[in-house]
Structure 1
């Protein structure tokens, strides 16, 4: 089942409310995915810096100690913020590369959840309302974000298995649906050097997009290619540094609704997630078409 919500803010005056609005949108989708939840927040970045968000295999993992060991090894002066079970280190690009290498060699249980100039991903096992509260999502500001509530059907309920999944620097994906060819595609992606940690078909979709972009495709091009290469039914919402995009499979059997005003563009699995947004009564509301890539980005 699963639930997806996304909010792209056009009016900068609303940016301080991003976390609050996303939290409310997600709360209406708890029944669609009570197993785990995740949030991708695009907040302000620092010139020449990248945010490396890390997490352990479960919420009780001592991520603060792991972050301190990592910082001591690669960047002793790097600013570090702890958000419940995740840590965000602000690094140079070279430090981020060394951090990945050091983690793989010394703390292989620690996962790099996201990397980017503006992107921070927070995801965990638990009821979505509780997950949002534990991370303090409601107090976060930013220009846009996407969120996911998961009902696990094909893989374990775990921190790694929760959405969103990173697809590259400042990019991520959430998915509602089911892919029928994910096992064979996973094997092919792993042969091509794409690392996949879980049995989650959504991570396979993320790995597919990563591979396509590494081969030179744009994200939009990779999404269009997925219509031919991915079997099953799906709604994808992808986040980028400048905005977010939406794609439904050619049958479009999973629910989706969008709303747009002069202040924002919003996506949700159900209209009730949009009902509390400011100015929704005057919004243009529509159902995105099948097999059509939509993007909203700031210039």
Structure 2
């Protein structure tokens, strides 16, 4: 049993409130997942790419960033948040930076890469995780979050969601996939690499692979109904989009609300009650095996 939340803003005037609204939604789902939490924020971009790094503490990250600046011969834009740091590098340097980190600081995980996306996740109560990273102070266009109750694996940060396997792409998942080991081997032959044994990372990798092959997000999710075996509710984020999919049985709870200003998702309605204008929103349960998707242009 886990909790999922998501908020996609249609109205740019609400962008300064994204973090505070998402934080309230995430904390409300604490009893569905009290052991760890994580979230992805789609916010401001820069001329290059942003890499979200995670380590055991700030000292490790600060030392690595200083050494990286020496390796690159230039300063690196960095924002430190507790055990995570977001560094900005030129797009053409991304491969070099990732290879250097792997060779010189294998204790540092690259949690996400993208122009606008940042991912933060840690073990602990959702409220504590949100506070550690100052989620309430973050701005952006959309975001998704997850509270985890580990029922099939250890309570670790690596098991926390969201999972990202492509630039500005991430996924949160409530449920369980039965064919993820076989699918992982197929995707590895296609060149994908996985950092954990979590079935959700495989689902994220599958969608990244389908979109790399030319599918839209909607098409990739529709293909997933055929290729992903198990029960699931997915909420997916991309640079410009937000999507929801439930498996054909739809045994996991889900509710959505839409107004002229936003689209919101919660595992339970109580995650949505603090949103502005919720009393006048169109509230509905997403249908099984149906892709719901929104884009900002």
Q: Structure 2, unaligned stretches of length 5 or more?
A: none
TM (norm. structure 2) is 0.95
1:79-129 deviation line (CA, Å, top 9, x unaligned): 111011111011111122211111122222322111111101111111111
> TM-score, with normalisation over the residues of structure 1?
0.95
Give the counterpart of 2:66 among 68, 83, 86.
Answer: 68
- How well do the aligned residues superpose, as a CA RMSD in angstroms? 1.5
Whether 1:243 and 2:241 are equivalent positions in the alignment is: yes
The secondary structure found in structure 1 opposite 2:145 is strand
- Give the structure 2 partner of residue 24 of structure 1: 24
**Aligned positions of 1:219-230 closer than 5 A:** 219-230=217-228
Distance in 1 (CA, whole Å) between partners of 2:82 and 2:73 is 22
- Name the CA shift for 1:273/1:27 in 2 (closer, same or farther; >3 Å): same
Equivalent residue for 1:170? 168
Indicate conservation of the 8 Å contact 2:165/2:201, yes or no: no
* Structure 2 counterpart of 1:264: 262
| Contact 1:17–1:141 (Cα < 8 Å) also in 2 | yes
Task: Give the 4+ runs in structure 1 shifted more than 4 A.
Answer: 58-61
Structure 1 residue 61 displacement after superposition: 7.6
Give the match for residue 114 of structure 1.
112
Task: Give the superposition deviation at 1:59.
Answer: 5.6
Q: 2:186 aligns with which of 172, 188, 191?
A: 188
* Alpha-carbon shift at residue 255 of structure 1 (Å): 0.6
Matched ranges for 1:50-69 at <5 A = 50-56=49-55, 58=56, 62-69=60-67
Q: Give, in angstroms, the shift of residue 216 of structure 1.
A: 2.7
- Larger CA deviation: 268-277 vs 201-210: 201-210
Write the distance in 2 (CA, Å) between the matches of 1:59 and 1:164.
Answer: 20
CA distance in 1, matches of 2:59, 2:184: 28
Aligned residue among 282, 285, 288 for 1:287: 285
Structure 1 spans left out of the alignment, 5+ residues: none
- 1:146 — aligned with what? 144
